[in-house]
Amino acid sequence: MDFRSLFCCVKGSDRKAQGKKETTWRIFSLKELQLATNNFNYDNKLGEGGFGSVYWGQLWDGSQIAVKRLKSWSNKAEVEFSVEVEILARVRHKNLLTLRGYCAEGQERLIVYDYMTNLSLLSHLHGQHSAECHLDWTRRMSIAVGAAEGIAYLHHYATPHIIHRDIKASNVLLDGDFKAQVADFGFAKFIPDGATHVTTRVKGTLGYLAPEYAMLGKASESCDVYSFGILLLELASGKKPLEKLSSTMRRPITDWALPLACEGKFSELADLRLDGKYDEEELKRVVFVGLICAQNRPEKRPTILEVVELLKGDREKFAAIESDEMFKSTPVAEDNSSEFISDEKEPKQEIENVKSD
Ligand SMILES: Nc1ncnc2c1ncn2[C@@H]1O[C@H](COP(=O)(O)OP(=O)(O)O)[C@@H](O)[C@H]1O
Ligand SMILES: [Mg+2]
């Protein structure tokens, strides 16, 4: 693939059309990136994903970057690399991670981004920063709204429309002001004009996958809405999408949150690390919107644009959601452990099921 020509055609027009974030990307040499990252030194490592490792680096002008380096070359990895650079080069939004450039020399494939000082949402909710309690309620609300706005840009304003297919806490990065930046476009897909969905191989992460996508490979905007709903519940409660109940059983966060929401037990839903310091109305909003997004029937989920309005406090829309039948009857707290996910069946975090592509 000729990346050079790809970037040349995208650059001019998109910058004009979007003009929200004035950035330029360029091609980096391998030498420059080796120099910036101290030869991809282990001490510079920021994170690891399916694609490879991400390293912190500093360029000659003093600016800080993050460099994602492909683990090992394969056709599949090459596709993921080109999808990510192609999509990131087309999008410009305050809540989408900015592409600084890429490097494709020999079998090396590297993607260069702005460095996000506060790393990922995952690191604050469940990872190395979780004990530091940096995420107060105001920050959580602005992360929720910001991430939703980034996704809304992909679904409704980018042409063609884009579905992300891997919305999750490790793919929402946080800048120095804890502003959300949606990242990792390796699984993203363009939705052709007029299409309601694309049938594709299932990619993504267990716990965040919409059922119609996991089972039938039907990917659409509403699959991202489902994953975003899980993320909202995670953000409010500090719980993981799948909670480990025993060595082999995991409970989806929705199964835990729905009965509590129906009974109005919001203090039980709130992350203990918030220490009771949250706006109850907003917490209620985040939980209800999370649950309405992460429901099994895709036709009943809101669009991400509606989610933005709901999170920002649209009272009329929220009243309609609150009176939805799913919140009317308290689900019976019976032994429904047979519905829980067994580790033995789904041992891997990143799943990949072959469907017609
Ligand atoms: N720009 C960045 N700034 C800081 N950390 C980053 C940046 N990009 C990625 N990371 C870290 O690396 C991890 C993996 O990056 P990601 O783009 O999701 O890669 P993958 O495609 O391999 O999943 C992220 O969860 C985050 O912790
Ligand atoms: Mg990732």
Cβ of 37 closer than 6 Å to ligand 1, yes or no, is no
Q: Provide the 3-class DSSP secondary structure of residue 297.
A: coil
Q: Write phi, then psi, for 351 (nearest 5 degrees).
A: -110, 155
Q: Provide the 3-class DSSP secondary structure of residue 71.
A: coil
- Minimum-distance ligand to the CA of 47? 1
Q: CA-based diameter of the chain, in Å?
A: 62
Q: Whose CA is nearest to atom 6 of ligand 1?
A: 119
Q: Which residue has the tokens 């391998």?
A: 30
Q: What is the pLDDT of residue 218?
A: 85
Q: What is the pLDDT of residue 31?
A: 97
Q: What is the pLDDT of residue 130?
A: 86
Cβ of 232 closer than 6 Å to ligand 1, yes or no, is no
Nearest alpha-carbon partner for 322 in 294, 297, 349, 292 = 292
Q: What is the pLDDT of residue 50?
A: 82
Q: Is 19 left (phi over 0), alpha (psi -120 to 50) or beta?
A: left
Q: Model-level pTM?
A: 0.88
Contact residues for 196 (Cβ-Cβ < 8 A; gap 6+): 220
Do 209 and 165 form a contact (C-beta atoms < 8 A)? no
Contact residues for 29 (Cβ-Cβ < 8 A; gap 6+): 103, 105
Kindly give the distance from the C-alpha atom of residue 279 to the centroid of ligand 2, in angstroms, as a whole number.
Answer: 31
Encode burial over 222-242: b for 16+ CB neighbours within 10 A, e otherwise.
bbbbbbbbbbbbbbbbbbbbb
Q: Provide the 3-class DSSP secondary structure of residue 193.
A: coil
Neighbours of 83 (CB within 10 A): 16
Kindly give the distance from the C-alpha atom of residue 125 to the centroid of ligand 1, in angstroms, as a whole number.
Answer: 15
Task: Give 347: exposed, middle or buried? Use CB within 10 Å, 0-12, 13-18, 19+.
Answer: exposed
Do 182 and 164 form a contact (C-beta atoms < 8 A)? yes
Q: What is the pLDDT of residue 219?
A: 87
Beta strands in 31-188 (DSSP E): 45-48, 52-58, 64-70, 99-105, 108-114, 161-163, 172-174, 180-182
Sign of CA dihedral 134, 137, 142, 147: positive
- Concerning whether 166 is annotated as a catalytic residue, the answer is yes
Q: What is the pLDDT of residue 170?
A: 95
Catalytic residue among 14, 114, 136, 166: 166
Q: Which residue has the tokens 């689900």?
A: 331
Each residue's pLDDT expressed in tens, for the chain with a length of 357 residues: 444 444 433 333 343 444 455 558 999 999 999 999 999 999 999 998 888 999 999 999 999 999 999 988 888 889 889 999 999 998 999 999 999 999 999 999 999 999 999 999 999 999 888 888 899 999 999 999 999 999 999 999 999 999 999 999 999 999 999 999 999 998 999 988 877 777 777 778 889 999 999 888 888 999 999 999 999 999 999 999 999 999 889 999 999 999 999 999 999 999 999 999 999 999 999 999 999 999 999 999 999 999 999 999 999 999 999 999 999 876 555 444 445 565 443 333 444 432 233
Q: Whose CA is nearest to atom 21 of ligand 1?
A: 51
Q: CA-to-CA distance for 344 and 199, rounded, in angstroms?
A: 27
Q: What share of the chain is helix, strand, coil (3-state, %, to 5)?
A: 45, 20, 40
Cβ of 50 closer than 6 Å to ligand 1, yes or no, is yes
- Minimum-distance ligand to the CA of 181? 1
